[in-house]
Amino acid sequence: MEHINLVETFSEFKEFKNIDRETMMRILEDVFKHMLAKRYGSADNFDIIVNIDKGDLEIWRNRKIVDDNAVEDENTQIALSDAIKIEPDFEVGEDLSEEIHLEEFGRREILSIRQNLISKIQEYEKDNIFKKYKEKIGEIVTGEVYQVWKKEILVLDDESIELLLPKSEQIPSDFYRKGDTIRAVVSKVEMKNSNPVIILSRTSPVFLERLFEAEVPEVYDGLISIRNIVRVPGERAKIAVESYDDRIDPVGACVGMKGSRIHGIVRELKNENIDVINFTTNPSLYIQRALSPAKVSSIVIDDDNKKADVYMKPDQVSLAIGKGGFNIKLAGKLTGYEIDVYRDTDVDNEDVDLQEFSDEIDQWIIDELKAIGCDTAKSVLNLNIEELVKRTDLEEETVNEVIRILKAEFE
C-alpha cells in the first residue's frame, strides 16, 4: 500500500506541477539516493530506475562477491555464501545486482521520502518561478485579478503564478474587480522567506516605454530611440524621442495617423496626457519643446546651476505650468533643468485674461469674479474692494490678495 501511495504522489506532482520528465527523474533520484545513503552509508553503488508514465520505480544495489572472511563493507561487498543463495553459479570477483523493494522500508521512512519529495519539488518550483520572472524584469505581463486588498492586488498569470500589484504601483484611477484582466510591467523580483515575490508596476516609466514598443513598430525595431520618459501616473507624461534616420519623423510615428497609435496607450493609462517631443542636445530648444503646448518668448539659461528662466506672454503662462503644475514639473525632470516661468514684460500694458492666473488664484475665486462679468485682470482692478466684496461671496481678505496678484502683473 505504501508503494502505491508513493507512486500516486509522483503522478500527482507530474500532473499538477508541470515538471518535465528529466527534472522529475533527477528529483526522484536525489530523494532516494539521500534516503539510501542515510540507510546504507553510501548510495554510489545503487541504480535507480524511474518510469514516470507508468509510475514504476526500481532500486538495484550492486555489490562485489568476495570470500566469506573478506567482507569489509557490507554495502558494497557480499560474501560468496550469501551470493550463492541468490544464484548458485556465482563466483568470487563477480558483480551481483539485487533489487531493493520499497516494502522493505518502514512506514516512517516512506513518509520521510514523501515529505522530502514534496519539499524538493516545491523548492524546484519556487526556484524556477524566481529565475523565470527575474529574466522578465522590465517586460509587460498580462494576468487575471484574483484578489483585491486594500494595499495590493493579487494577480495570477496563465500558469497560476502569483504576482503582486501594490497600491503604490497602481495608477490613481485604476479600479479592478476579481476576474478582470490586468497589464503591468514586472518591476522587482525577490525571495522572501524562501518564497519568490514578484512585484508589478503600472506607474513605472518602463511600463510606458514597453507600451510604445508594442504600439509603435519603429520603436520596437530600434529605428526610433526613446531618450527619456517622465510621468505623473494618470495625469501627464512626457517622452523624448529621436531617430537617426532623417526619413522618419519620430513624433509623428509615435502619435500615428490622427493619434491612432497613441490612443491605445492613453486608454491603457486611464487617459493620461502624453506629450511626445523631439529630443535635442540644445538645452534652450529642448526646454521650449518640453514646455509644450505653451509658446516661449525667450529663455535665459544658467548651465552651471542647471537653471532656466523662461519668459512668455501672459496667456501662455498657465499652459506652461499646466493643471496642478504637472507640465512645468515634468518639463524640469525631462530636461534636467530647474525651470522658472515669468510673464514677458514687453506686454505688461496689455490686459490679461483672468484664467491665466489659475496658477496663483484658486479656480472657484476666478469663477466668482467671472460671474459678475470680470473676465480680465483690468476689469477686476477697475472695481474697488468694497464693490467686489459686495457683488461676490468673497471675503475682503481674499479680494485684497487677488488685487495684489493682479497688480503685480502690471508693475
Cβ proximity of 62 and 36 under 8 Å: no
Cβ proximity of 77 and 94 under 8 Å: no
pLDDT tens, position by position, for the chain (411 residues)? Answer: 344 445 555 555 555 455 666 777 787 788 888 888 888 888 888 888 777 666 667 888 898 988 888 888 888 888 888 888 888 888 888 888 888 877 777 778 777 777 877 787 788 888 889 999 999 999 999 999 999 999 999 999 998 899 999 999 999 999 999 999 999 999 999 999 889 999 999 999 999 999 999 999 999 999 999 999 999 999 999 999 999 888 999 999 999 998 899 999 999 999 999 999 999 999 999 999 999 888 888 899 998 999 999 998 877 888 888 888 899 999 999 999 999 988 875 544 567 788 888 878 888 998 888 888 888 888 888 888 888 888 888 888 999 999 988 888 776
Query: Torsion angle of alpha carbons 14, 15, 20, 22, nearest 10°?
Result: 30
Handedness of CA 243, 248, 249, 254 (dihedral sign): negative
Nearest CA to 141 out of 201, 87, 191, 85 is that of 201
Residue with cell 486608454: 267
Query: What does the pLDDT read at residue 89?
Result: 84
Residues facing residue 156 across a β-bridge:
144, 162
Distance CA(310)–CA(343), nearest Å, equals 8
| 342 alpha-carbon distance from chain centroid | 39
Looking at 3.90.25.10, 3.10.20.30, 2.130.10.10, 2.40.50.140, the CATH number of the domain 148-201 comes to: 2.40.50.140
- Overall size of the chain counted in residues: 411
Query: What does the pLDDT read at residue 19?
Result: 66
Burial of 307 (0-12, 13-18, 19+ CB in 10 A): middle
- DSSP letters, 306-341, are TEEEEEE-HHHHHHHH-GGGHHHHHHHHHHT-EEEE
Cβ proximity of 165 and 150 under 8 Å: no
| 112 alpha-carbon distance from chain centroid | 40
Cβ proximity of 310 and 287 under 8 Å: yes
Residues 6+ apart with CB under 8 A from 114: 5, 6, 9
Cβ proximity of 241 and 225 under 8 Å: yes
Query: What does the pLDDT read at residue 2?
Result: 44
Distance CA(299)–CA(285), nearest Å, equals 9
- DSSP letters, 14-58, are HHHS---HHHHHHHHHHHHHHHHHHHHS--TTEEEEEETTTTEEE
CA distances for 103 relative to 40, 98, 142, 241, angstroms: 16, 15, 48, 70
Query: What does the pLDDT read at residue 138?
Result: 95
What does the domain layout of the chain look like in residue ranges? 2-131, 148-201, 354-410
Query: What does the pLDDT read at residue 4?
Result: 44
| 361 alpha-carbon distance from chain centroid | 39
Distance CA(224)–CA(256), nearest Å, equals 13
What single letter denotes the amino acid at residue 331? Answer: A
Distance CA(384)–CA(351), nearest Å, equals 18
Cβ proximity of 243 and 279 under 8 Å: no
Query: What does the pLDDT read at residue 17?
Result: 53
Looking at 3.40.1350, 3.30.1380, 3.30.1480, 1.10.3470, the CATH number of the domain 2-131 comes to: 3.30.1480
Phi, psi angle pair for 317, to nearest 5°: -65, -50
